Amino acid sequence: MPPSVRAVADLPGLGLRLVAGDSGRTRGVRWVAVSELEDPTPYLDGGELLLSTGMRLPARDPEAVSAYVGRLVHAGVAALGLGVGLTHPSVPPTLAAAADAAGLPLIEVPSGTAFIAIGKAVSELLGIEELEGVTRAVEAQKDLTRAALGPDAAATVSGRLARHVQGWVLVLDSAGGLLHAVDAAPGGSEADLARWPAEHGSDLAELATRGLLASSALVDAGGSVRVFPLGARGRVRGFLAVGTSVPLDRNRQSVVAVAVSLLSLAVEQDEPGALGGRDVRAATVRLLFAGAPLPDLPLALLGWDWLAEADLRVVLAHGTALERAELAHRLEATTDRRVVVVEDGRQASGDVGGEVRGEVVALLEDRSGGADPAWPQVALLSAGGSSSVTVAELARGRTEARQALAGARGPGVRWFGQLAADGILGALDPQVASGVADALLAPLEGRKGDLLASLGAWLARHGQWDTAAADLGVHRHTLRYRMRRVEELLGRSLDDADLRAELWLALRVRGAVGPR
């Protein structure tokens, strides 16, 4: 949670004083902004401590002051800080009265306190709060993981999730029937929660038809509510509803995401004949990527305890269910290295003919000593592979693998290290690059003096007139004339380094010049 207005006002060494709007002292301050505009709201995002010297504040006009305060409140400003001693010797009574009436905290900033000092202090406070929030989120994820490994996992996980988000949690079956209800919000009642599924049955039905692609956000009188489908392999087995008095911040969203994975695993295992083991593997890999502590994961039970000590490569590929299953089989069967392979249809990357394209994830033991492994047998789909990483660096490895996959140009594994070796041209879509090159070079096509060849020679020689002219077999003055003609036709100066780079790449795409 961001620091409160009261916490900011109490920062030591700044001399700040909360003089009005005390009823809003618990509001969170997300940033500091400075503005002397009569209406700064178009440039605000909400949650700011707005600092001003009141240069344009019509302090003698109560209606104008009240309108100014009203605009700030409507924009969601957390508090207003007025610097005194320059425009106003003290806080104008009209401003204090308007702030009190609107519940907008008003902080007096003494003349000796620089606005930049307040910004730095709040930034440091936000950094501390963020670190504490991340620490709490990691501890919550560990707690949920431990709960999932025990008996009655769904009930235990939902109960602990409610406590960690300080709200209420419902676990429902695929028809919207209530399985578990926990209310950890202050003054909450689990009996009242029992009516929620019936009241929102249509929302659940719509979410079920959308499958496992996204959550559904609802806002009602009780605050912010998010509903998540539970299940695996493209099937809705149930729902998780999470209600809080305020929207979930990023850290609590990560806790809920782990709970969704664990509860999906639990409802799959409760289904007769469900392949729970595969879901345990996928959930464990997701937790590894999330940085969950290794002792809290069932690595030994899965035979994956070797991950803790090995150098690894992360390999990713996308495909339909049949493609994923076939590729997963090939990855496990065609390497002499230890490998962990999971295929997860919940991580959608698009659809083909209505079928979800999910993700295959492989963690390959790296014995290459820095060289990219040869893995030719996996030429079923395009795949992306990371550089060598440890288990603690898996999140970076996944990012590298996704970047490599985005640059793949056909079946087989494209390794992250190849991106730099292939250069910018290797990362461009050939058809798009060809179209851009054609459009850029079109004004030079078919011109007298073969402007394209002259341009290529001049660029290849880094603008050295004599050597470029010698390459072409022309006088340097002839080449200078041709380059002036290029500038006229393009309407841009060749002194522009960006233009020279674009023209060189365009000629490289055309194959008109080679690398130097």
- Of the listed ranges 270-284, 381-395, 479-493, the least confidently predicted one is 270-284
Average pLDDT over residues 189-195: 63
Percentage of the chain with pLDDT > 70?
A: 74
Lowest mean pLDDT across 127-136, 296-305, 435-444: 127-136
**Per-chain mean pLDDT for the chain:** 79
More confident position, 334 or 439: 439
Average pLDDT for residues 131-148, to the nearest whole number? 79
351 strand-pairing partners:
356
DSSP E strands in 372-470: the ranges are 382-385, 412-415
- Specify the pLDDT at position 127: 82
What's the average model confidence in pLDDT over 112-137?
84
**Of 507 and 77, which is predicted with more confidence?**
77
Mean pLDDT of 458-486: 90
User: Can you give the pLDDT at residue 480?
Assistant: 92
Average pLDDT on 280-284 reads 76
- 54 Cβ contact partners less than 8 Å away, ≥ 6 residues apart: 82, 83, 87, 88, 92, 95
* pTM of the entire predicted model: 0.40
pLDDT, greater one: 24 or 435: 24
Distance of CA 310 to the CA centre of its chain: 28
- Report the CATH architecture of 430-510: Orthogonal Bundle (1.10)
More confident residue, 302 or 182: 182
Per-residue model confidence (pLDDT) at position 62? 92
Share of the chain above pLDDT 90, in %: 22
Orientation angle between helical segments 153-165 and 115-148, nearest 10 degrees? 170
**255 compared with 265, residue with greater pLDDT:** 255
What would the pLDDT profile of 1-29 be if each residue is shown by its tens digit? 688 999 999 999 999 999 999 999 999 89
Residue 176: which pLDDT band, with cuts at 50, 70 and 90? confident
The answer to whether the 5-113 and 142-284 domains have the same CATH topology is no
Identify the band that residue 202 occupies on the pLDDT scale cut at 50, 70 and 90. low
Token pair, residue 234, equals 């493209």
* Mean pLDDT along residues 384-411: 84
Whether domain 142-284 has CATH 3.30.450.40: the reply is yes
Predicted local confidence at residue 253, as pLDDT:
84
More confident residue, 456 or 351: 456
pLDDT band at 265 (very low <50, low <70, confident <90, very high): confident
More confident residue, 32 or 353: 32
Average pLDDT rounded to a whole number, residues 462-472: 90
- Each domain of the chain, given as residue ranges in start order, spans 5-113, 142-284, 304-427, 430-510
**Beta pairing class for 31-34 and 17-20:** unpaired
Tell me which of 44-53, 274-283, 298-307 is least confident: 274-283
Mean pLDDT across 108-120: 93
Partners of 180 in the β-ladder: 171
Q: Which residue has the tokens 């007298």?
A: 448
Residue 275 has pLDDT above 50, yes or no: no
Residue by residue, DSSP assigns 84-135 as -SSS-SS--HHHHHHHHHHT--EEEE-TTS-HHHHHHHHHHHHHHHHHHHHH
Whether 277 has a pLDDT exceeding 50, the answer reads: no
Phi, psi of 454 (to 5 degrees): -65, -40
Residue 71 has pLDDT above 90, yes or no: yes
Half-sphere exposure of 490 (CA within 13 A, CB side): 22
Residue 272 pLDDT = 37
Domain 5-113 belongs to what topology?
Answer: 3.40.1390
Give the pLDDT confidence score for residue 17 in this predicted structure. Answer: 93
Residues 351-360 have a mean pLDDT of 55
Q: Is the pLDDT of residue 474 over 50?
A: yes
Confidence of residue 50 (pLDDT cuts 50, 70, 90): very high
